[in-house]
Structure 1
């Protein structure tokens, strides 16, 4: 019997790898919907398996049971197992099942079964079963409706609070007033804020000619 830590898992698929020595040759994966896997030295078989002695073709090599996968061993193959990353070791006799001349073993969770014949080895393990995603509940639909309403209200809110021609004109007027105020402050700091006035006649008479005295020869006539 399998220890408690090695209970089989019924809902998973099956993963198979074919090695030639230490080199991976081929790999196959079968989903949870597959109830059995037959092997034969034929490319049309569900598991094309060459180099193994099979009692019949096709040979039922794996079938699903209520507890998980049951692997039927080819009669000439050497069967070993590795549990959760440990090294391969011979299958205990207590784990082998005998039924109608067939020898089989239940594939446990975390267990890799290696069937070897000559240079070929077939490694079989159960594929990982992911937890089923919980279905949406009524409260989830409520939150979904609220989020949808908020998302749809964004364009309306933008139209209500967004820029209008009147607001654009007001903003433009404020910008022009701010620019005029800054220009007035600049002129005041430069002393240009006092308006100009015309000069009086006295101020004009007091101004001197900016010309320069020039002495010319007598034979030149100045107009």
Structure 2
């Protein structure tokens, strides 16, 4: 059975109602049979896209304090040492995962620990793979801490189509690896900032599965 994320319930309901209205109106007001069918197929296709975007497949996370799991589904587009200016103000190993509109957009906690920092930043809507998206787009920055990795930062970044980031992390909250951390609506990216020297299990171009695949380990 297909599961949908709670952040999509309202949009799915609206899309479903509008789809029914559109199909009925096409039947009533368009006299050319093939055009009626074409419009109805287009409407159903749009509804299917909405449904698949908000799907929330059940993932069984192998809990392990010595691993960092992929927080989202997508493609690894950046692996490099960078200066992280917002929280660490120092060198970190950045791993960025780009989500296309067809990926599952649920954000999951990459490790278990305590939320040390959680901040929302309004901003632009550059394409998610743009080099400046990490610092100029709408985004949320969250820092988790545990005894194995110390502090790990992840950043949800809106893309050209994403107009709302949902973040559930609250400072002081204890969270569990693989559980629901939020959602980004319509195209986006997540950056991980890991301690220098962290062993990575992924390379550029790899496609990863959120909540399941190990991206780094001690």
Query: Higher relative CO (CA 8 A, sep ≥ 6), structure 1 or 2?
Result: 2
Indicate the structure with greater strand content: 2
TM-score (norm 2): 0.23
Q: Larger Cα Rg: Structure 1 or Structure 2? A: 1
